[in-house]
Structure 1
Amino acid sequence: MGYLFDAIVLGLLALLPLINPPTTVALFLALSQGLSQHEKNQQALRTAIYVFAIMAFTYYIGEFIMDVFNISIPGLRIAGGGILIIIGSRMLFPQPRQPSSSRESETAHANFAFIPLAMPSTAGPGTIAMIISSSASIKHNTNFPSWVLLTAPPLIFLFAALIVWGCLRSSELIMKATGESGIDAVSRLMGFLLVCMGVQFAINGSIEIIQTIINNNLPLLHSP
């Protein structure tokens, strides 16, 4: 059980900066204005279900998508790193919010759980890119027993969805405790972490490409 616990903790540490619960809470509070507590709870539950479904779907078909479109792991890591850098930069330097019309607000109240809460606010392009790029490595990982590699991913996605659900359910308390300035500070900190992760993704992908080129050219260099 210790291996399973370690795998779940590592997975959550990688996902939490990407799913960014503080930003999702702030967006949820803005979109749920005028709704009853029962309606807010429904939207929170739907968002958590959608987040779990998106991450699980992405993980289990990631390698298939890469094979169909002939995408390499290094290429995906570089592209994913670029996405993370862009998203993190936007979180570090957020643009001023544009006021929405009353008609747009009424439409958003109909069902905002999938768009924009689940995607792209929570399980957005950065999360999807990281899950796809990590799926192949995780499935061939030798640091954990095979049963851990089978059971850990869905549990990681489940716990991540539960964290999102818990944050949204307690959004009013979080806002009262931290205030908008507190949520903004945490969001900027996570944005900085995302930029760092994106740069590291791009570095790792570039190193793998260079190593592949060197390994492919070694036989040519040693041939008579």
Structure 2
Amino acid sequence: MIDLATLALYFGKSFLLVLATLLPILNPAATAPIFLGLTEGASQDTRRELARRIALNTVLMMLGAMLVGAYVLDVFGISLPIVRVAGGLLISANAWRLLNTSDASSDSRRALAEGFTPEMVRTHSFYPLTFPISCGPGSLAAAITIGVTLSESLLALSLARFAGGVAALGVIGAVMFLAFRYATQMLRPLGDTGTVVFLRLSAFILLCLGVQIIWDGLSELLRSVA
């Protein structure tokens, strides 16, 4: 019979493992400027709804990757390096688009705001705002790896570990929602010009990150055939 202290210990270990592993990779504070750039012209209410949907989508994607990610990749014969290459291409494409976006005038901002219909919010909240911007191939690969390590020989211990992981994902989702919800306030001290510069720098860093992810995936593929 497993006592509550042991279950609590396994719960706590998994909670800390998932939180310490995934939160730095997802890094909502660093992604918040990209979120602002991709939602230029949207109202605060629209951004609040997008932030809520992105946080929920991210938690569900991470949970799915932890539970069945390894099995899904195995069924389709897809390796993690391929996931990294494909995800890196998507990140690079979105970063390039953000880098080449011209600054919007007042009229164009109003047009953009009108373009954020409820249907557009539902669509854009997943692609590209959740995947691959907020929840990219690196975080998915980490979640899949964590999911494999959470399995235990005893069902009760496995359930305790997965419960700890789910609780950590809930905390990560809350942090992501707050970072995106208050992204405008975070960048307000920079002013209009400083915000534009910061957004461009963030887009460039995102492009570099995409290229790095592609290179990491290609390197693993090359090592596997060498």
What interval of TM-score do these two structures reach, taking the shorter chain for normalisation?
A: 0.5 to 0.7
Query: What is the CA–CA distance in structure 1 between the aligned matches of 2:38 and 2:142, rounded to whole Å?
Result: 28
Identity among equivalent positions (%) equals 20
Alignment of 1:49 onto 2:60: no
Alignment of 1:12 onto 2:23: yes
Cα deviation for residue 156 of structure 1 reads: 5.0
Alignment of 1:31 onto 2:37: no
Greater shift in the superposed pair: 39-48 or 200-209: 39-48
Alignment match, 1:221: none
TM-score by length of 1: 0.64
Report the residue type matching 1:137 in the other structure: T
Report the residue type matching 2:127 in the other structure: P
Residues 8, 22 of structure 1: CA spacing in aligned structure 2 closer, same or farther, 3 A cutoff? same
Of the three residues 179, 197, 214, the one matched with 2:191 is: 179
Q: CA RMSD in A?
A: 4.0
Query: What is the CA–CA distance in structure 1 between the aligned matches of 2:34 and 2:86, rounded to whole Å?
Result: 23
Instruction: Report if aligned partners of 1:82, 1:199 keep a CA contact under 8 Å in 2.
Output: yes
Residues 17, 175 of structure 1: CA spacing in aligned structure 2 closer, same or farther, 3 A cutoff? closer
Alignment match, 1:115: 123
Residues 193, 9 of structure 1: CA spacing in aligned structure 2 closer, same or farther, 3 A cutoff? farther
Residues 65, 50 of structure 1: CA spacing in aligned structure 2 closer, same or farther, 3 A cutoff? same
Deviation by residue 1:67-91 (Cα, 9 ceiling, x = unmatched): 3322122222222222333333344
Query: What is the CA–CA distance in structure 2 between the aligned matches of 1:45 and 1:189, rounded to whole Å?
Result: 25
Alignment match, 2:7: none
Residues 121, 208 of structure 1: CA spacing in aligned structure 2 closer, same or farther, 3 A cutoff? closer
Query: What is the CA–CA distance in structure 1 between the aligned matches of 2:172 and 2:198, rounded to whole Å?
Result: 18
Instruction: Report if aligned partners of 1:7, 1:148 keep a CA contact under 8 Å in 2.
Output: no
Residues 174, 203 of structure 1: CA spacing in aligned structure 2 closer, same or farther, 3 A cutoff? closer
Alignment of 1:96 onto 2:102: yes
Alignment match, 2:217: 205
Of the three residues 69, 79, 84, the one matched with 2:91 is: 84
SS at match of 2:116: helix
Unaligned stretches of 5+ residues in structure 2: 1-11, 151-157
1:118-157 equivalent positions in 2, closer than 5 A: 118-126=125-133, 127-140=135-148, 150=162, 153-155=165-167, 157=169
Report the residue type matching 2:138 in the other structure: M
Instruction: Report if aligned partners of 1:47, 1:113 keep a CA contact under 8 Å in 2.
Output: no
Unaligned stretches of 5+ residues in structure 1: 215-224
Residues 47, 123 of structure 1: CA spacing in aligned structure 2 closer, same or farther, 3 A cutoff? closer
TM-score by length of 2: 0.64
Residues 148, 97 of structure 1: CA spacing in aligned structure 2 closer, same or farther, 3 A cutoff? farther
Query: What is the CA–CA distance in structure 1 between the aligned matches of 2:190 and 2:166, rounded to whole Å?
Result: 31
Of the three residues 52, 67, 72, the one matched with 1:60 is: 67
Report the residue type matching 2:101 in the other structure: Q
Query: What is the CA–CA distance in structure 1 between the aligned matches of 2:114 and 2:222, rounded to whole Å?
Result: 52
Query: What is the CA–CA distance in structure 1 between the aligned matches of 2:222 and 2:109, rounded to whole Å?
Result: 48
Cα deviation for residue 101 of structure 1 reads: 7.8
Query: What is the CA–CA distance in structure 2 between the aligned matches of 1:201 and 1:88, rounded to whole Å?
Result: 13
Cα deviation for residue 187 of structure 1 reads: 3.2
